[in-house]
Structure 1
Amino acid sequence: MVDGPAIVLYMSHLGLGLVRALGREGVRVFALDPHRDALGMNSRYCTPVVTPDIKADEARYLDFLLEFGCARPSKPVLYPTGDPTVVLLSREREALSRYYHFVMPDHETVLKLLTKDGLDAVAREHGIPAPRTAVPADRSAVEAAAREFQFPVILKPAESHAWKARAIVDLIGVGTKVVPCATPEDLLAQYDRIAAHDPAVIVQEVIPGEDERLVYCCFYVGRSGEPLGLFAGRKRRVLPPGFGSASFAESMNDPALTQATLRLLRAVNYRGLGGVEFKLDPRDNTYKLIEFNVRFGLWDALGARCGVNLAHMAWRDAQGLPVEPRLEGRPGVKWVSMQRDLSAFRLYRRQGKLTTWRWIRSLAGERMWAVFAWDDLRPFLSTAPGYLWRLAAPRLGMAGKQAQR
């Protein structure tokens, strides 16, 4: 009998979604994270395991995975949740596959899709519609882009995780994925600031239109190359507005989006879990390729609520069990990260794009909370007090100062 457990590497909103999608199907799940208090480590659907940190010592982390896998009585299915773990699994697949099941594309394809310049090369090679992009080798190439591009444009890191380095975070802030540039002079100034720490950047045109034109299609492609699961959603709000990750999304179906996604997957001979982001360009009504995740994504667990449990499909297929293909989910179901969406709401309201009443009304209907779940309350209960304190502390501090006057 095939009954291998699942191993989720690193916990967060993403990891918690994976744990619940698998645990609710009766799969035993181990949650591996260097921090015992990481979000989701206390979920009823997982067994927490504290590990070394891949960022601090990759070799030690790999040794831990090999030893942990070797000690399991049945071969587990492995789920990476971030680019560092994806790269490690891909590069060390020969050693890890002795103790784990996991399905992913070949290593060259993984590296192409993970990097912004690699993804641009894939789009060019296969004729996939995408924003105009330049991959500058030096400042003179940025100067050329400043002359040739229409503005505004954005600067992106060639490798997403590069902008998590402390020196970059100190420059542009925590969680910043892109830097908007309104003019040629702004582009050169921003490049000079960032290139001192990370010169591997790309310049890209901004696709016009509101944030709701951002869509995301997540999927599982089986070992044989057949798409077994596909689920799509629209980003209703993102944080920060314009260029951030979803704080509020809603499931949808669009045959044109499905075809655009399947065309890309066939072009790169994809295997495994993943997701691709497009933006519908109002100038030609075409979906333009924005980003590719070679892993389960932030709100992909919404698919399980809508009838397409990609995580469980991956668990079954990796072990050679049959999977019934599901290439369309139930539309109109909402995913909300309340803590992040409150922040997004304030920013949209400040920009005059959202009123309080419209925000409240948007939350009506069937929805799935990123953290809160009646059948798994501990992750919410352990994070709510800290969040409420962060909301209250500035007001309490202000009240204290007023009382001293």
Structure 2
Amino acid sequence: MNNKAVILGNNYYIGLSTIRCLGSQGIHTVAMDYSDEERYGVRSKYCKEQVIVPHYKKEKEQFIGALINYAKKQEMKPVLIPCHDSYVEVIDEYLPDLKEYYLIPQTEQGLYTRIMNKDKLHQLAEKHGVRVPETVRVDEVDFEKKIEETIKFPCLVKPVDSPTFVSVFRKKLFKVNNMEELYASVEKAKEAGLEVIIQRIIPGFDDHMHTFDAYLNQESKVTHWVTCQKQRQYPINFGASVYTSQKYIPELYDIGATFLEAIGYKGFAEIEFKKDAETGNFYLIEINARITNFNQLLYKVGINFPYITYKELTGEPLEPKALTETTNRTFWYVYEDMLAIRNYLKTGQLTIKQIILSFLRPKIHAFWDRTDPKPALYYTKLMAFKAVRRVGKR
């Protein structure tokens, strides 16, 4: 296999997992980043090459130029795999240029960006008959009346552009309890130059969050898929997976595969759903158009999405496969799960007994792998250094 795999974003465990998924299959992995700071993914024994390029946002054109220049020097087109939303956005922006030099599953420029845009995604979902949380836009007529009668408090002020919002506010959304807080949050977003929408909160604890993870081939047909259930997330209630279990939920395939195929999606996608605790209906919350946080879990239960991507794009597609049983194997990001547990206990959403019982599940770690220990050891050293520095500032 002479095609290299270029992985963007290796200062996060998604990039580390992607390197492991590909490197363990004998593929030459290239960790490409804008900085070497906290870049623990490159410590993996499966990382064969390290490249530093300009920043994807601050020096966008130079970044694209560096990507292209690297590919021009290779014998065969590399496979390009982004592991962060911001990389997905810039790849989509320059998709025609990059596809001349890289193997990328998506062929329709703008589709990645549309499904990452919360407002456009919800319009697309409604068009195809997929349930989404009731939404009100800030400039709608009878705005306050719709909030009070349809959305109700508490409710969510969500960004249209999630990656930028997270980079500015270090959170995925604002939860507000009254009209005063709502207007204050809208104004805060406006000052940052960000557009927001207002949504109803679908009732149910964090374990009502589920995912449909799938790969769609160049004919936009789902060939591989698996479903999961979140147990805990951080920040709690509206955050990322920190304790997530594999669970077979065929209904999610019926909804998710039909929708992704209908919109002509290609490549890996993860749809996040929330199950309404009162009605049992599943609501589409968002789509991740890059490898998921708990990719290491999916890999360990037998669905290696980075490798599936690589093999199809290099002309040797793997046989279709779905995990149609429940293994209960669980992804665990220890550090953030400890922070989440503290807040679940503080708010009375979980008891100590419930937490202890949850730990009986067989676990897959975000960083630790006994056959590839260096990234976890390096990450532990980073966290210890940060802890010492925080104590020293007090």
TM-score, normalised by the number of residues in structure 1 = 0.90
Q: Is the 8 A contact 2:226 2:323 kept in 1?
A: yes
5 Å-filtered alignment, 1:1-400, equals: 2-11=1-10, 12-37=12-37, 38-46=39-47, 47-104=49-106, 106-137=108-139, 142-148=143-149, 149-165=151-167, 168-169=168-169, 174=170, 176-328=171-323, 331-356=327-352, 358-391=354-387
Judged with a 3 Å threshold, the aligned counterparts in structure 2 of structure 1 residues 201 and 309 are, in CA distance, closer, same or farther, namely same
Gaps of 5+ in 2: none
Counterpart secondary structure, 2:103: coil
**CA-CA distance at 1:106 after TM superposition:** 1.3
**CA-CA distance at 1:186 after TM superposition:** 2.2
Counterpart secondary structure, 1:154: strand
Q: Deviations over 1:191-233 (max 9, x none)?
A: 2232222351010000011000001111110112221111121
Gaps of 5+ in 1: 399-405
Q: Is the 8 A contact 2:95 2:109 kept in 1?
A: no
Q: Is the 8 A contact 1:143 1:188 kept in 2?
A: no
Counterpart secondary structure, 1:278: strand
CA distance in 2, matches of 1:397, 1:49: 34
**CA-CA distance at 1:278 after TM superposition:** 0.2
Q: Is the 8 A contact 2:96 2:109 kept in 1?
A: no
CA distance in 1, matches of 2:223, 2:339: 36
**CA-CA distance at 1:92 after TM superposition:** 2.1
Judged with a 3 Å threshold, the aligned counterparts in structure 2 of structure 1 residues 6 and 126 are, in CA distance, closer, same or farther, namely same
Among all aligned residue pairs of Structure 1 and Structure 2, give the percentage whose two residues are the same amino acid. Answer: 24
TM-score, normalised by the number of residues in structure 2 = 0.93
Q: Deviations over 1:20-61 (max 9, x none)?
A: 111112111101111223131211111222221112100000
Residue identity in the other structure for 1:301: Q
Residue identity in the other structure for 2:7: V
Residue identity in the other structure for 1:298: N
**CA-CA distance at 1:365 after TM superposition:** 3.6
Q: Is the 8 A contact 1:279 1:287 kept in 2?
A: yes
Q: Is the 8 A contact 1:222 1:317 kept in 2?
A: yes
CA distance in 2, matches of 1:349, 1:396: 28
Q: Is the 8 A contact 1:145 1:203 kept in 2?
A: no
Residue identity in the other structure for 2:100: R
Q: Is the 8 A contact 1:162 1:198 kept in 2?
A: no
Q: Is the 8 A contact 2:274 2:283 kept in 1?
A: yes
CA distance in 2, matches of 1:141, 1:260: 33
Q: Is the 8 A contact 1:105 1:272 kept in 2?
A: no
Q: Deviations over 1:153-184 (max 9, x none)?
A: 1001111122145xx43xxxx2x101111122
Q: Is the 8 A contact 1:104 1:273 kept in 2?
A: no
Counterpart secondary structure, 1:107: coil
Residue identity in the other structure for 1:323: L
Q: Is the 8 A contact 1:54 1:61 kept in 2?
A: yes
Q: How many residues align?
A: 389
Residue identity in the other structure for 2:213: C
CA distance in 2, matches of 1:92, 1:55: 13
Residue identity in the other structure for 1:134: V
Q: Deviations over 1:287-330 (max 9, x none)?
A: 10000111212112321111111111110001111311112265
Bigger drift between 357-366 and 199-208 goes to 357-366
**CA-CA distance at 1:146 after TM superposition:** 3.0
Counterpart secondary structure, 1:209: coil
Judged with a 3 Å threshold, the aligned counterparts in structure 2 of structure 1 residues 378 and 119 are, in CA distance, closer, same or farther, namely same
Q: Deviations over 1:214-264 (max 9, x none)?
A: 011111101122211111211110111110111111111011111111121
**CA-CA distance at 1:85 after TM superposition:** 1.9
